[in-house]
Amino acid sequence: MIVKTIAEILLLCLLLIACKENKNPETNDEPFVLEEISIDGLVNQSAYEDISTNAVVVLTFSEKVDLSTTEKNITLKKDNVAVPLSFISENNPIIQITFPELATFSKYELTINSGLKSESGTLIYTGRNFTFSTGMDLSDKFPIISDEALMAMVQEKTFRYFWDFAHPSSGMARERTTSGNTVTTGGTGFGIMAIIAASYRNFISKQQALDRIIKIVDFLGNKCVRYHGAFSHWINGETGATIPFSANDDGADIVETAFLFQGLLSARAYFDGAGAAESKLRADITGLWEAVEWTWFTKNGETVIYWHWSPDKAWTINLKVSGWNEALLVYVLAASSPTHAIDKRVYDEGWARNGAIVNGSKFYGITLPLGNSYGGPLFFCHYSFLGLDPKRIADQYADYWEQNCAHCQINYNYCVENPQKYGGYGQDCWGLTASDGNEGYSAFSPSNDKGVIAPTAAIASLPYTPEASLRALRFFYYKLGDKLWGEYGFYDAFNLSQGWFDNQYLAIDQGPIVVMIENYRSGLLWSLFMSDTNIIDGLKKLDFQIK
């Protein structure tokens, strides 16, 4: 070897001295040392990053290892919790270590303690610590199909939550996978719209859809407890009795009621045949619709709608439906009622807060017309707009297509920027909304970011951000599908930083997936809902421009 610099000469001398000093002082033999480490095929690296979740560690020692000392002296930990290891030693002194699948986007520490011995009884010269971090397995988990086929498959699989998993007595949507007899009013409205989409796509026949929706409407009209025409948030799917949502929420929920009627009015438009069954369904829906006393929820004539009312606790919760959130539909329906309509003043003062609803600031160079900074959780641009077509409406406060597109683009750009450096966030993996999380249910958003992504957020945004939403859809299915895809489509949420994947489905997140994919593909539910003359009259009453 030709030594070219003084630094190289000094380094060589130091290495020779180290080797001499590292000999076993008792036997004068060469020391027992780790000569090489390979993690996921990377050898003797200063840093090990983006390691696969099924990595293998290979340790090469200077002599054969006393295998009785490996278990206590070679350890792997994540967050200071030991990971169980298996040792393969047929080629000792080469020891291969395997372990259960590692969590994605996580840090691990591999430790070789100084108590490890060789077969000759020599202690390893020094202990060693190695840290490595995992990425994720980016292989395709399912065969690649066309985007149209993928969207159709996701629609059909997700729709099955409302079809196969519906409550057998009422036909209503169960709140979530574990809900038993607890059915959800708003989720049922979303489910009715999903059933209509399923009929349109021939996942079921139109007659099957009609029979199921008749079953739901009969239950709503003949068994369910109503409060001034409105329904509670949760209902016993067997008896129709109210199941309290909280201690003081044991009566009407006008927002959930609005989401239910978004579905019912869409069904009234879809089943437009002259036959007796369809005619009766339309009449029954009209009866339920006209019975809702929207003006009652202004609490003795105030210029705002209140969210809850209880027969024994009255207005105790005292929550106003006010400012920009998911509930624009409440005011549209309240103005559209043929029997109990609110005045425009209630909309302007209560909902729009005399213009205080307006934002106008820019985020990532995108102007946000309404609401709080960064737009909030994405369900704000989904729930009211499953039927209410944002392309067709504008008022003095906003153009609602511009509002929803801006909101989605800001949410997307935030996830791409990923200021908190959560695992997985990026152009293919984005979408913050209300969902399950590894620490419980929450309304996740840029201002409440815990690393939790919900598939419904990006997928239900397809009409607003088609390219980014399709990228996310492909990523969720092809890259995460082995953990995220189940009996009724995508599980509710995941957190790659924590290696956590939900195992449940929620009705209010399932419904927007089916409906907004359909609105992106055909505009079906937008067309049906906006064909209702009551709705058009209500929008005009509130001075909406209808395009």
Q: Which CATH number is 67's domain given?
A: 2.60.40.1220
CA distance 352 to 512: 25
**Domain shared by 105 and 184, yes or no:** no
The per-residue pLDDT for range 371-387, each reduced to its tens digit, is 999 999 999 999 999 99
In the prediction, which pLDDT does 26 show? 45
Tell me if 525 sits within 8 A of 193, measured CB to CB: yes
Higher pLDDT, 292 or 10: 292
Q: Does 475 score more than 70 pLDDT? A: yes
d(CA 400, CA 390): 5
Here the tokens at position 373 are 């900074």
Half-sphere exposure of 260 toward its Cβ, with a 13 Å CA cutoff? 29
Shared-domain flag, residues 392 and 334: yes
Separation CA 46–CA 266 (nearest Å)? 61
Contacts (Cβ under 8 Å, ≥6 apart) of 346:
298, 303, 304, 305, 331, 334
User: Number of helices and strands (H, E) in the chain?
Assistant: 16, 27
Is the same domain home to 70 and 182? no
498: in domain: yes
Q: Which residues are CB-neighbours of 432 under 8 A, at least 6 positions away?
A: 377, 378, 411, 414, 415, 444, 445, 446, 448, 449, 452, 453, 454, 457
Give per-residue burial for 269-284: e unless 16+ CB within 10 Å, then b: bbbeeeeeebeebbeb
- Whether 8 shows a pLDDT value over 50: the answer reads no
Domain count, the chain: 2
Which of 108, 134, 160 represents a domain boundary (last residue)? 134
Residue 414 has pLDDT above 70, yes or no: yes
Of 290-294, 386-390, 496-500, the range with the lowest mean pLDDT is 496-500
Which residues, 6 or more positions from 13, have their beta carbon under 8 angstroms from its beta carbon?
Answer: none
Q: Reduced to 3 states, what is the DSSP secondary structure of residue 547? A: coil
How many CB atoms neighbour CB 520 within 10 A?
A: 18
Supply 100's token pair: 């259960």
pLDDT at 230: 98
What would the pLDDT profile of 494-536 be if each residue is shown by its tens digit? 999 988 999 999 999 999 999 999 999 999 999 999 999 999 9
How is residue 406 written in tokens?
A: 């801006």
Tens of pLDDT along 164-174?
999 999 999 99
Q: Are residues 119 and 213 in the same domain?
A: no
What is the extent of the structural domain holding 124? 26-134
The CATH number of whichever domain residue 234 belongs to comes to 1.50.10.140
Hey, what are 322's tokens?
Answer: 């006010």
Q: Are 137 and 96 in contact (CB under 8 A)?
A: no
The mean pLDDT value for 348-377 works out to 98
pLDDT digits (tens, 9 = 90+) for 301-313: 999 999 999 999 9
130 and 206: one domain? no
CB 323 within 8 A of CB 330: no
- Of the candidates 134, 169, 184, which is a domain's last residue? 134
- Cα dihedral 404, 409, 414, 415 sign: positive
d(CA 305, CA 297): 5
Element containing residue 408 per DSSP (H, E): helix 400-417
Helix (H) / strand (E) containing 206: helix 206-222
Mean pLDDT of the chain: 94
**Whether residue 115 sits in one domain with residue 248:** no
Q: 65-69, 131-135, 232-236, 343-347: which range is least confident on average?
A: 131-135
Judgement on whether residues 54 and 126 belong to the same structural domain of the protein = yes
- What is the reported pLDDT for 5? 47
| 17-31 pLDDT tens trace | 444 444 444 444 689
**Mean pLDDT of the 254-273 span:** 99
DSSP 445: B
296, pLDDT greater than 50: yes
The one-letter code for the residue type at 359 is: N
CA distance 361 to 501: 35
Both tokens assigned to 395: 């008022």
Tell me the CA distances in angstroms from 453 to 119, 374, 442, one per residue in order: 50, 16, 11
> How much is the pLDDT for 13?
44
pLDDT > 70 in the chain, percent: 95
